[in-house]
Each structure stands twice: as C-alpha cells, then as structure tokens.
Amino acid sequence: MLVNASALGMRFGVEDIFENASFTINRGDRAALVGVNGAGKTTLIKILTGELEPAAGDFHVAGGVRIAHLPQQMSRFPEGPLLDTVCREAGEAARALEQMRVIHADLENTDDCGVQKQLLDKLADAHDVADSTDAFNVRSRAEKVLSGLGFSVHDFDKPMEEFSGGWRMRGQLASLLLSNPDLLLLDEPTNHLDLEARIWLEEYLRKYRGAVWVISHDPGFLDRVVSRVYELEFGELTSYTGNYSFYELKKREDISRREKQAKHQAEQIEKITRFIKRFKATESKRFQVRSREKMLEKMEVIQTHRDPNHMRLRFPDPPRSGQIVAHLENVSKRYDRAVFNDVNLEIHRGERIGIVGKNGEGKSTLSRILAGIESPTGGNLRMGSGVETGFYTQEVDQNLDPGLNLLDQLAAISPSSSEKDLRSILGGFLFTGDDVFKSTAILSGGEKSRLSLARILLSPVNFLILDEPTNHLDIFSRNVLCEALEKYPGTLVLISHDEQLLSALVEKVYEVQNGKISLFDGSFDYYLRKKQERIRSTFQSRKSCSTPGKSPREADRERKQREAEQRKVLYSSQKKTRSGISRIERKLLPLEEKREELEALLQDPEIISDTRRLVDLQKEHAYVCQEIGDYQKAWDELAEEMDN
C-alpha cells in the first residue's frame, strides 16, 4: 500500500470542499478522478503531493514512496537542450547519478581512510537508488520516451526555450515518466498530445509498474487506462470499480435511484407537513404534531445528481451548395520548409471528413487553406458554387478582438441582430447577465472556445471546418457539441485528436504525414485500431528482443532461473548460507509467478466488474507481495553476509 487516507476533510474558510473522503492507493492502481469544476479535484491532488494539509482525517504515505505530479499548466519550465534537460529533471534517478559523480570526485581528492569509508557507504546508497530507478540507462530510456511522445531525433539537441508551451509540457511529462515514481499524478495529460502520442502514452501507462491517478476530460483515454473511477460530488468521494464507460453506466443507475428516493422523501415530507398544518392548533394532537416536527428536523434531505449548466448548441439550417464543395489540385505549401506537396483532394456535399496526423505535420495549415485564410504556395484550390464557409481555429485568439466585450464580438458579425437576440445566443453558451459585458481579453480558454462557436451560429454555413474544437471544453460541452454536429446537415471537415468526436462524426479519414496527405480506406475506429496495433507491437518487440521466439513470461522465468544458478555458483564456498539462499529462491519463484498470475486477473474486465471477487484477489495480491518482500529482504541479508 502506497497511500492510505481515512475520513479526509478540507475546507476554505467556512466552506467545506469535501469531507469523510477515504481511499487507498496500491502499487499498480489505475484510477481516474472526476467531478464538476469546483468539486475539489485539484485540492485532493495537492493533498496527495503534500502541497496542502487536510483539515480533518488521517493521511499516510508509506516510507520511501516517490510521488510525481504533472499539472495542467506550468508557469516555468527548465532550460537547456531537450534530451539533457529531460535526463537532468528525471527525479531521483538524476539526483542519484549526480550524487555518485560528486562522491567519485570527493574520493579522488581524499587520502583519509575514515572519510573514504564514509564516502563509500554513501556511494553504495546512491548506487542502490540509481539501480532501483534504472538511472544507468536513463539516456537511452529518455530517447525512447521522447520519440514516443512525438519528438524527432533532430529535436534532442534543440533548446527547451525554442519549443512551444505544448511541446515543453511533453518534455516535462517525459521527465516524470523517466523518474519512475511510485505514484504518478496526471492532470489533463492528453491536452497537448496528438493522437499517436496519446496512444503511445496509453500503452506506456498500461505497462507502468507504479500507481497512476488521472484527471482527464478524455473518456476514450480513461476507458483504456483506468480500472477505477473516483468521483467528487456533493463533498463526498465515491469509488466505482471499472473503466470510465462502466462508471457512466453505474452513475446513471445511481442518479435514477437517488431521484426515486428523493421523490419518495418529498412525498413523505409533504404528507407530514400537511398533518402538522392541519392539527397544529388541536390540543389532542399536540404530541403527534411535535413528534412529526422532530422527524422533519432530523430528516436528512436526499440530494439528487448535481446537473451542471450545459451549453445549448444547434447549428442553423444552411443553404444548399453545389455537389463539389472544394477541389485541391497539386496543392503545396511552404514556409521556411515544405509543409506538404502535390495534394489532390476533392470534397463533396454532405461529406464528413476527419483529418488526422502528428502535431506540426500541416493539419491546421490545410484547414486554413480550405477556409481561404491562407493561399497555397503552388497548385490550385477551387471552391464550389454556393459554398458558405464557417471556420473554427484552435488559435481562438486569432478571430477575436481582445478590445471588445462578448456582446460586441457578436454584433461585429451580425450588426442587424438585436441585443435581445445576441443575448439569447450568448445565454446558450453559458454567458448570462453581466457576463456579456466581459472583456474578451480576460476570458479563459474554455470561454473563448464557446464564444468562437457562438460566432459561427450567426451566419448559416454549409461548409464547416473545425480545427480542434474540443481543446478547452469539458466533457459536458464536448457531448453537446458532438450531438449538434451529428444533426448538422452541411459538409464537415474536422481536424481533431478527440477520438470520441471523430468516431461519432467522420466517415472518411485523411492522414497528414511526411508532407503527404493520404486517404485512409476505412472508418476512424479501424484507423485507430491499426495505429494501436503498430504502437503496441513496438512495446512488445522491446520486451521480447532479448529472447526471440519466447513469450515475455517464459523469458522472465528463464532469466530468474539463470540468475539463481549464477548466485549458487558464486557462493558455493559458503555451504550454510548458500543452503539458506537456495531455500529462499525455491520459495520466491512460485510466489513471483503467483503474483504475475494475480496481476493478470486484476486487469480482467470480468473480475473488475465483480466487486467481491476483486476485493478477495486484491487481498491475496497484497499478501503475496508482502511474502515476496520478506523473502527478498532475507535474501539480501544472506547475500550481504556472504560478501562480508
């Protein structure tokens, strides 16, 4: 067990954020933390990192447990060449290597035997830490992690300061992964990742030995990564065993149950209240009235689901366009380098097209060319007859005048619309009352996204181009946007890394890669499966490359047996100690195989859905891990005895 929390409470001033929150975090756990904005998710994460002290309850972190946290935003990033910086920031692994370097330098500069002995003891401790964090391979591991997160080999020597904020966040994530913490806390880790990097991260986390807690608005990512969901609502922390889809199903059932209970309670309250009003002045009913008044005082009102305000979005019916909406012939685009060349693409009325690819490959550039914002360097673009284009860019600031308030932003698009009509549209995007007079400059990313979508509604368009429209939207707003786009009758081009949005909307996929744009013959789900298989195979090949033709478990078993044989030969002169080591190894091997068997069962969806069976297996797993730890400690003591 890494962390144990019992009856945690937190308040700011007189306001309770949450209370009686209890949970445990074990090695290998994969959990999501969800809840509406303001529910207390960030506060709970800060308690886990030690930034905040809980106002009530007991909170214990096991000795030696290392915790790493990736926040949603960072105000300061380390500087220096990417690869060197990531290795330098790799937590305890980097510190252990630096400590070893300093100790070696000190050893060269001293002849004092006593000092040398102290330094050697420190060196042994630092070596143990470096070995446990795989620090000696940190540079090669860093190259693999950076490549998986989308960096090229040419980026490794590039200074961190020259990367955009999103790419620097990827570098920070790489440092955290390299540090091999026991508990990894990730706040919206996919915000700055393209589809391929996100799939890579999913596979990395699935193989990760430590525990992972994630805050994310990406249901697809959560479905494939987590096996438990913690929800903060009404100041209470509720645990659901299973992935995010299972949580949603159980949540709907829970909402239905609460609503029935609340309805029954309301009927009871109404009945009791009528009795009190009717007989309050009747002396003979005085005791019954008082009894019912006390009953009402003690009755705890059942709270139903807190339904956050939802964005309301419906695209107006567009005019009809010609059959061919856009035709690109041998289109190329260059800045200081070629972005893409010889693109031939024809878009027909009513098509729903997804454009995918790594960041920096030219997806947004292509969207701006289609929208008429930029001109191609070479080739021709012809728009069809009657085409009215609406364009949403992920750089939302580009289309918004920071000097205008929200009402003026819409009035600039539709000067003939009345203030009442404009207020009505803004209200549908959760801007009410005096919000409409807010300066655009002070809006959050999510508010600017909603405002940009509101501007599109003012002009009925039949060709809609959306570049990363869900980047700053919460799950509720994403769902509203998806439902509105499903009903949109015009032609749609969607540039996105949002897997659920692409799966629900697009019927044709174009991939932008290495300066080419290729039609992918299949649905987005099929495209996604192929990507996952390719990335998964790279993980598998790394794992099995040392023992070709053997399964990972067979290779691991053979490795343990070889190590055991080598140890026996090494210590053959110490008969009694060797006998003890052999006895421990005979007990360790089946225990380690049992642990692997239990860990495989704990990832089985059928087991996860059976709460009683899951708890029993978790207890058995904890017991086996404890046994292994005890035997390994005994083995270490015997090995040290032989060394002496």
Task: Give the tens place of pLDDT for each residue, 142-153.
Answer: 899 999 998 989
**Confidence class for position 375, pLDDT limits 50, 70, 90:** very high
Residue 308 in any domain: the answer is: no
Contact predicate 389/445, CB 8 Å: no
Residue 512 in any domain: the answer is: yes
For residues 464 and 336, state if they share a domain.
yes
For residues 42 and 110, state if they share a domain.
no
**Confidence class for position 559, pLDDT limits 50, 70, 90:** low
Residue 122 pLDDT > 80, yes or no?
Answer: yes
Q: What does the pLDDT read at residue 544? A: 52
For residues 505 and 379, state if they share a domain.
yes
User: Which of 41-55, 469-483, 605-619 is predicted with the least confidence, judged by mean pLDDT?
Assistant: 605-619
Residues written for the chain:
644
Q: What does the pLDDT read at residue 188? A: 85
pLDDT above 90 covers a percentage of the chain that reads 23
For residues 460 and 604, state if they share a domain.
no
CA angle 450, 470, 332 (to 5 degrees): 110
182 or 449, greater pLDDT: 182
Residue 191 pLDDT > 70, yes or no?
Answer: yes
Please report, for residues 104, 112, 122, 268, the alpha-carbon distance to residue 109 in angstroms, rounded to integers and kept in the order given. 9, 9, 16, 84
Whole-number Å distance between alpha carbons of 196 and 359: 9
Q: What does the pLDDT read at residue 385? A: 93
Read off the pLDDT of residues 323-337 as tens digits, 9 standing for 90 and up.
999 999 999 998 878
What is the rounded average pLDDT of the residues 169-184? 89
Residues spanned by the domain of 292? 256-298
> Could you give the 3-state DSSP secondary structure of residue 379?
strand
Q: What does the pLDDT read at residue 568? A: 52
Q: What is the DSSP letter of 22?
A: E
Residue 627 in any domain: the answer is: yes
Read off the pLDDT of residues 577-603 as tens digits, 9 standing for 90 and up.
767 777 887 788 788 888 888 888 877
For residues 491 and 342, state if they share a domain.
yes
Report the number of distinct structural domains present in the chain.
5
For residues 560 and 586, state if they share a domain.
yes
Domain boundary among 139, 165, 191: 165
Determine the residue type at 255.
Answer: I
- Long-range contact list for 437-442, CB < 8 A, 24+ apart? 437/405, 437/406, 437/407, 438/405, 438/406, 439/402, 439/403, 439/404, 439/405, 440/400, 440/401, 440/402, 440/403, 440/404, 440/405, 440/406, 440/409, 441/402, 441/403
For residues 515 and 368, state if they share a domain.
yes
Contact predicate 510/355, CB 8 Å: yes
CA angle 297, 299, 302 (to 5 degrees): 135
**Confidence class for position 229, pLDDT limits 50, 70, 90:** very high
553 or 286, greater pLDDT: 286
Token reading at 404: 């205008």
Token reading at 355: 């454009």
Domain boundary among 114, 134, 165: 165
Token reading at 22: 């209890």
- Give the mean pLDDT of the chain: 83
572 or 99, greater pLDDT: 99
What is the rounded average pLDDT of the residues 351-355? 93
Read off the pLDDT of residues 70-121 as tens digits, 9 standing for 90 and up.
987 776 788 889 998 888 887 777 778 888 888 888 888 888 888 888 888 8
For residues 329 and 238, state if they share a domain.
no
Residue 445 pLDDT > 90, yes or no?
Answer: no
Residue 637 pLDDT > 80, yes or no?
Answer: no
Read off the pLDDT of residues 492-537 as tens digits, 9 standing for 90 and up.
999 988 888 888 899 889 988 888 888 877 778 888 887 778 777 7
Q: Find how far residue 450's CA is from the centre of its chain.
A: 22
Q: Find how far residue 511's CA is from the centre of its chain.
A: 24
For residues 364 and 509, state if they share a domain.
yes
Residue 112 in any domain: the answer is: yes
For residue 101, count other CB atoms closer than 10 A to its CB.
11
pLDDT above 70 covers a percentage of the chain that reads 90
Burial of 430 (0-12, 13-18, 19+ CB in 10 A): middle
> Which region holds residue 38: left if phi is over 0, alpha if psi is between -120 and 50, else beta?
left
Instruction: Find, among 209, 210, 204, 211, the residue nearest to 190 by Cα.
Output: 204
Contact predicate 338/360, CB 8 Å: no
User: Which of 69-78, 169-178, 179-188, 560-569 is predicted with the least confidence, judged by mean pLDDT?
Assistant: 560-569
Q: What does the pLDDT read at residue 571? A: 45
Residue 518 in any domain: the answer is: yes
Residue 459 pLDDT > 60, yes or no?
Answer: yes
Residue 585 in any domain: the answer is: yes
Whole-number Å distance between alpha carbons of 304 and 294: 24
What is the rounded average pLDDT of the residues 116-141? 80
216 or 610, greater pLDDT: 216
Residue 313 in any domain: the answer is: no
Q: What is the CATH number of the domain that holds 520?
A: 3.40.50.300
Domain boundary among 214, 242, 270: 242
Relative to beta strand 15-25, strand 3-12 is antiparallel
Residue 545 pLDDT > 60, yes or no?
Answer: no
Q: What does the pLDDT read at residue 549? A: 47
For residues 461 and 434, state if they share a domain.
yes
**Confidence class for position 560, pLDDT limits 50, 70, 90:** low
Residue 483 in any domain: the answer is: yes
For residues 211 and 355, state if they share a domain.
no
For residues 416 and 334, state if they share a domain.
yes
Sign, Cα dihedral of 206, 210, 211, 216 = negative
